[in-house]
Amino acid sequence: MPDLPTPQDDTEAALFSECWDAVLSYADLCTSGSLTAHQLATEAFTLGMREVRAAASTHVRGGRRTARLPTIPALLTAVRNTAAAWEADGQGHRLDPDLRLWLNSEGAARFSGPPLRRPVALRALRDMQEADAALLWLAEVEALPLPAVARRLGLDPASVTDELDQVRTLFRDRCHRAHLDSPMDAQCRSYARLLDAVTRSPSAETPGDLSRHLATCVQCAEAAACLRLHGGGLPAALAGGVVGWGGLAYLERRRRATEVRLGAVRPDAASADPEEGAGRSRVLRGGLLVTAVLLSALALGVSMMPFDGSGDDTAAAQDERQPVADPDLSRTEAARPTATETPSARPSARPSARPSVTVTTQRTPRRKKPDPEPQGTSSATAGTAPGPGPTTEPAPACRVAYDLDSQWSDGFQATVTVTTDRALTGWQVSWTFPDGQRAGQMWDATVHQDGSRVTATAADYDRAVAAHSSLSFGFLGSWRDQNRSPRDFTLNGEPCTAG
């Protein structure tokens, strides 16, 4: 594993403890292996901290505040820019193939092109006071509990909820102004005032002509996601507009990492803050760095993608992959918050404007894969002749919950949770879409679709599933006309019941 970045002073060491796991998590999304992810993260963190220091020294010029992103999104931008530099320097083979395609597309060009054509969320966040922007990012994208956000930013825990509401409103106003300042054709400009009106109220219905326009205009659809504070789409609007490629997958990882920390560091989630251990040792830079890495390892191990090295037993492989298969962790993770907790729980990172939930169950940590079972066997004792009359079929050994987390004009996000009565060492979950839907990007599994039949196969890190526990994965999909729930779920070829 390459050496970790070397902070220049205690302040930078504190930033390392707070930001390294976020940088490494996004770098892992961008690369094809964990060792390469560490190299990209180290290079990007060094570059990003240099830019953060430079921005801080020129934050005010002539009495005028210069635009500046909070530290974590600034460092994530450095990861993206470093990946672009690798691609330009002939090192693109080290990057995720989908990222390489994006880096050479118009989508990537928007982030470095004319300022008024850059994503609305990026421009709005840069236009806010840094403390306000940091509060919004930590609460919405990093999914940190508000008491932890308050401690990190030095805010009053009793008033941080009200401050966050005010900051959300401020962000919306900045987005509205940025949208109006964007170059638009006559049709988009004619819808701008109506778009502002219908996104202000959760009860306002979107007129049909505006819905059709949003389905075909990327620029206005991005603005709508930023302007609509209700419905759970704000985290996705922020991540997609600031990070760009991989924003939704990054959101899911940060949510999962926070849940793991809350469940694994202490029983009392209110004080389960990874910053406390670092805070106690803040006077010693070396101790702070060790604490940061140790506290990040467990969450990263659960939230990151599989280790692609061949027999490499480096610390990167151990820290990122081993905790997932640790039987002790399965007991610890049972205390994690779920997506169906009380309203006081952190809002889940959803990329949607219109959530539409169907069947929901507790979302337990991704896990383990099934032993191959001989097909066509019966529960009857071998050698015993069947009695007269109908035979009794054995009860299905798995149950499936399909959650439609969110849905918009032509797409949706869903989560599949399968509870198995048997211990698994590998798994495949299949289902049939009734309305021609297509499954796209998937996390915690790999996807294959043949016509209407979809098969999700366990990733390298979540093959094993204990008996009477669950596996879970999520994906993005597209739909037309209707988006009914899938049917005919099977686990390793055996049918599962719903619920």
pLDDT tens, position by position, 160-172: 999 999 999 999 9
> 168 by DSSP, 3-state: which?
helix
pTM score: 0.55
Q: Is residue 301 part of a domain?
A: no
> Structural domain of residue 480, as residue ranges?
398-498
Q: 134 versus 11: which is more confidently predicted?
A: 134
> 486 by DSSP, 3-state: which?
coil
User: What Rg do the C-alpha atoms of the chain give, in angstroms?
Assistant: 24
| Model confidence band, residue 3 (pLDDT cutoffs 50, 70, 90) | low
Structure tokens at 56: 């801080």
Q: Is residue 138 part of a domain?
A: yes
> 117 by DSSP, 3-state: which?
helix
Alpha helices in 182-217 (DSSP H): 186-198, 208-216
Which DSSP category does 484 fall into? P
Whole-number pLDDT of residue 33? 80
**β-strands 487-491, 469-478 pairing:** unpaired
Whether residue 350 has pLDDT greater than 50: no
Are 117 and 183 spatial neighbours (Cβ–Cβ below 8 Å)? yes
Whether residue 326 has pLDDT greater than 60: no
pLDDT mean over 176-189: 91
Structure tokens at 359: 């069947």
Same domain, 403 and 258: no
> 413 by DSSP, 3-state: which?
strand
| Model confidence band, residue 272 (pLDDT cutoffs 50, 70, 90) | very low
CATH code of the domain containing 451: 2.60.40.290
Count other C-beta atoms under 10 Å from residue 293's C-beta: 18
Final residue belonging to a domain, choices 229, 264, 299: 264
Question: Which of the residue ranges 122-126, 240-244, 287-291, 395-399 would you say has the lowest mean pLDDT?
Answer: 287-291
Count of structural domains, the chain:
2
Sheet with 445-450, strands from edge to edge, namely: 445-450, 453-458, 428-432, 487-491, 494-495
303: enclosing H helix or E strand: helix 285-303
Amino acid at 437: Q
**β-strands 469-478, 438-443 pairing:** antiparallel
| Model confidence band, residue 476 (pLDDT cutoffs 50, 70, 90) | confident
**β-strands 398-407, 497-498 pairing:** parallel
Whole-number pLDDT of residue 11? 67
Whole-number pLDDT of residue 4? 63
**Among candidates 356, 338, 359, 362, which has minimal Cα distance to 499?**
359
Question: Which of the residue ranges 194-198, 203-207, 449-453 would you say has the lowest mean pLDDT?
Answer: 203-207
pLDDT mean over 317-337: 34
pLDDT, mean over the chain: 75
Whether residue 335 has pLDDT greater than 80: no
Which DSSP category does 296 fall into? H
Residues of the chain with pLDDT > 90, as a percent, come to 41
Q: Is residue 290 part of a domain?
A: no
Same domain, 24 and 169: yes
Whole-number pLDDT of residue 401? 94
447 - beta bridge partners? Answer: 456
Same domain, 224 and 78: yes
Are 115 and 181 spatial neighbours (Cβ–Cβ below 8 Å)? no
| Model confidence band, residue 206 (pLDDT cutoffs 50, 70, 90) | confident
Q: Is residue 278 part of a domain?
A: no
Final residue belonging to a domain, choices 228, 243, 264: 264
Whether residue 9 has pLDDT greater than 60: yes
CA distance 67 to 77: 14
CA distance 133 to 126: 8
Whether residue 492 has pLDDT greater than 90: yes
Residue listed under structure tokens 């931008």: 77
Are 291 and 277 spatial neighbours (Cβ–Cβ below 8 Å)? yes
Count other C-beta atoms under 10 Å from residue 455's C-beta: 16
Same domain, 75 and 218: yes
Structure tokens at 272: 């389960």
Q: Is residue 279 part of a domain?
A: no
Q: What are phi and psi of 185, to 5 degrees?
A: -80, 175
Whole-number pLDDT of residue 101? 93
Name the range with the highest mean pLDDT among 18-27, 199-208, 448-457.
448-457
Whole-number pLDDT of residue 83? 95
Whether residue 327 has pLDDT greater than 60: no
Whole-number pLDDT of residue 6? 66
Widest pairwise Cα distance in the chain: 94
Q: Is residue 4 part of a domain?
A: no
CA distance 126 to 71: 12
- Tell how many helices (H) and how many strands (E) occur in the chain: 18, 12
Are 176 and 183 spatial neighbours (Cβ–Cβ below 8 Å)? no
CA distance 58 to 50: 13
**Among candidates 475, 488, 493, which has minimal Cα distance to 434?**
488
Q: Is residue 274 part of a domain?
A: no
DSSP-assigned states of every residue in 77-92: HHHHHHHHHHHHTT-G
Final residue belonging to a domain, choices 216, 244, 264: 264
Q: First CA to last CA across the chain, in angstroms?
A: 44
Count other C-beta atoms under 10 Å from residue 55's C-beta: 16
Whole-number pLDDT of residue 397? 82
**Among candidates 227, 196, 245, which has minimal Cα distance to 27?**
245
Q: 94 versus 278: which is more confidently predicted?
A: 94
Q: Is residue 328 part of a domain?
A: no
